Every structure is written in structure tokens, then in C-alpha cells.
Structure 1
Amino acid sequence: MAELNSGDGGGKKDGGKVRSKKQNSKVDLTAMVDLAFLLITFFMLTTSLSKPQSMSLGLPAKEKPDDPVIKPLPVDQRRTVTVILGENNKIKWYHGLLEAPEANGKPQVTSYGKEGIRKVLLERVQSVPQVTGDKEKGLIVIIKPTKKSNYRNLVDILDEMAICKVETYAIVNDFTPEENTLVSEMSNKVN
């Protein structure tokens, strides 16, 4: 392991001078390297790698030119909530159709988190089966991110869907003229 090499012996030389012995030290690090590799191997084998967390999304199939045109299914507007994601973490939501605000209430601005959109979604998740009279028919959320919203906002709203146990939701980028007006109002209030 560790060796200690010493130079040629001292003693008296030609002039009678006495020289001290020079010692050359040399340390063999082979055992240390072996130990390091054993430790690296041990920690590599015993450490569990973190698994990425992901949410399963059902994406539509690509349309083929020869496919027949499928008409959209009618949905009970009492089951829908539309969430528009704006800039600077602003959310505007409305229940049902925007064209009939007197029946469903005016669109409202809220934020992310427990006291924001989560509270709204939890209330709607509980009230929709009571209103429709069918426990099988739950809330449908339509998520509409604007061009000024960021990716984090979309991830946050998808997290809210999982937290509130909303099973049916869709990410849509088609805006009606009325919704475009709402988006411009959101932008004007921020600036």
C-alpha cells in the first residue's frame, strides 16, 4: 500500500562531510480508487430514480380527408364552465353560454389557487349533478388559453382539474367574438 523509498545511504564521502538521508515518499492510491468505485456502484444500485409525474391526456385522432364529417354532440349548458386564461395569471370564467349571461351570471375574473378557480370548480362539481338530476353527468370544463397566457398557467389549470376531480375537460383555442371581447377587457384591466 504505502511505500517509503529512501535514497542512497549517507555516511562519509570524499571530503568527510556528513549528509542526511533523503527520503522519497510515495503513496499508493490503488485501494482508495477501488473504494471510491465500490461506493459509486453501491449508491447507483441502491438509489431509486425519480419517476416523472405525468397526466394522461386523451388527444383526438388526426382527421383523414376521406372521413365523414362528424357533427358535434349537443351538451347540456348547465354542465359547462368555460375558463379563459389571460396574461399575468388572470382567469376569466363563465358558466354555460356566454350569449345568455342573465341565465348563468356574468363572466367573472379570478386567480389560481385555493380561494380562486379551485373554489369555483369545487362548487360546480358538487352542484352540477344536483342541477341535472343525474350523478353520472358531471362537470365539463372548457379551457381556452389565450396567446398571452403562458405554459405555466395551462399546467396550473390542468393541476386544478386533477385536484377538483373534473373528469371531462377540453383545451380549445377557438374563441367566439364575445370571448375575444372578454380577452381584450382582461388585457386592458391589466395594463
Structure 2
Amino acid sequence: MSAEVEQKDSGKGKKGKQKKIKTRVDFTPMVDMNMLLITFFMLCTSLSKPQTMEISMPTNDKVADDQTTKVKESQAVTLILDENNKVYYYLGMFKAGDQSLLQETSYAPTGIREMLIKKNSEVVAKINDLKKQKADLKITQEEYIKKASEAKDSKDSPTVIIKATDKSTYKNLVDALDEMQICSISKYVIVPITDGEKALLAAKTGGASAVKN
């Protein structure tokens, strides 16, 4: 950017008369500067990364029968997502023909969330305490992440098995996965619903939608 001063003299040399001065500012170099600034910010600004949801899928590793039974009896929670935003659950092992096993709930805070928080109460309490320590600056963010991960991987934490009927929606699955995060559930899997569960659900609801293949 430069400025030029033009001075004009009448040439008559009269005393007391002010000379006229014209100032012109050249903004042409500012264009180059703006382009440099735009290029700088484009290169230095980090682009927003797409957010992804981590889903724990069932492993192919074989588990001993006694260990499977132990997990199902003490820690397993099975969610069955059905049509019309209905969701059912049962605790422990599946028992064919036992309609009292299947309990209806909802996606409301007083539904799935309340049940899972109660089932995972010890872990939730530890996570809440860690959040308070982090807010009080007693632990760092890195320490919080490490200790929270250790708390969630506790052997006493429940394992949630999510199953969906043909007439449930993608939103139902997303809502169920959201509850896993809210309730600090780290061990959860998505598996197909079994024929026995379809039959039990159909008997429970009085319909045949769950039996559809």
C-alpha cells in the first residue's frame, strides 16, 4: 500500500495562501495480502472430521459353556426392538414359552435408561465420581479417560445384547446405542433375533409380526 502526495502551486507566489495538496492511497497491494491470508487460513484450519459411532460386534472366538451360562445368568440383558417404537427386554437366560420373562419398556428416560442404570449402578457411580473429580481439576482429561475405561470394563458390568425384529426402524437401533453411551455400558453386541424369541414376542404381543422371517 502506498500513498502519493500531489502538490500544486499557483506560481504566483502570493503570501498567506495555502497550497492545495491531494493525497491518493493505492490499495492494490492489499489484494495480494488478502489472498495470502485466505491461503494461510485454508491451510492451517483443520477440517471437521466425520463423527462415527463405534459398535462392538460379537466375536468369533469360542467361549466355554460354563462361562457363557455364567454371563447370561448374572450379567446379560437382552433388548428386543419391535415395531411402533416398542422395546422389550429380559434378564439372564432365555426360557422358551415363559411369557413372564419378557418385559415391555420404552425409549424414554424412565424406560431403558432407568433399567440399565440400575443394572449398571456401580459403574455409573464411579463414572459420576470421576466426572466430579475432573470438574474440580483433581484429575486431568487423560486420567479421566483412563480411569473411566477401567471402570466400564469391570467384571461386574452388564453385557447388553441388542436384537431387532424386521419391523423395527434404524432410529430404534440408534436410540438403543445412544442409551449404551448414556448408561456407561461398554459391553454390548448386536445379534439377530432367534426363532424362540420371535415366538415368545408374538405370544406376548398377540401378533405375528415378530415371527416373520
TM bucket (normalised to shorter chain) is 0.5 to 0.7
1:49 aligns with 2:47: yes
What's 1:138 paired with? 157
User: 1:163 pairs with 182, 185, 193, which one?
Assistant: 182
1:98 deviation in Å? 3.8
Secondary structure in 1 aligned to 2:201? helix
Alignment of 1:17-166 (within 5 A): 37-38=35-36, 40-59=38-57, 72=65, 73-76=68-71, 77-99=73-95, 106-126=101-121, 136-166=155-185
**Structure 1 residues 151-191: Cα deviation after superposition (integer angstroms, max 9, x where no partner):** 2221221121121111222211041424433157558499x
Show structure 2 runs of 5+ residues with no match. Answer: 1-27, 124-153
- For 2:81, give the aligned amino acid: L
**Structure 1 residues 52-81: Cα deviation after superposition (integer angstroms, max 9, x where no partner):** 333333445679xxxxx7655333413111
Larger radius of gyration: 1
What's 2:149 paired with? none
Secondary structure in 2 aligned to 1:142? strand
- For 1:140, give the aligned amino acid: T
Provide the rounded CA distance (Å) in 1 between the counterparts of 2:208 and 2:161: 23
Indicate how the Cα distance of structure 1 residues 187 and 56 shifts in structure 2: closer, same or farther if over 3 A, else same.
farther
Provide the rounded CA distance (Å) in 2 between the counterparts of 1:62 and 1:127: 29
Provide the rounded CA distance (Å) in 1 between the counterparts of 2:196 and 2:96: 14
Provide the rounded CA distance (Å) in 2 between the counterparts of 1:143 and 1:187: 22
Secondary structure in 1 aligned to 2:110? coil
Secondary structure in 2 aligned to 1:116? helix
Provide the rounded CA distance (Å) in 2 between the counterparts of 1:60 and 1:81: 15
Contact 1:82 1:93 in 2 (8 A): yes
In the comparison of the two structures, how many residue pairs are matched? 151
1:126 deviation in Å? 2.1
Secondary structure in 2 aligned to 1:166? coil
TM-score by length of 2: 0.54
Q: Percent identity?
A: 43
Contact 2:164 2:193 in 1 (8 A): no
Contact 1:86 1:183 in 2 (8 A): no
Contact 1:86 1:186 in 2 (8 A): no
TM-score by length of 1: 0.59
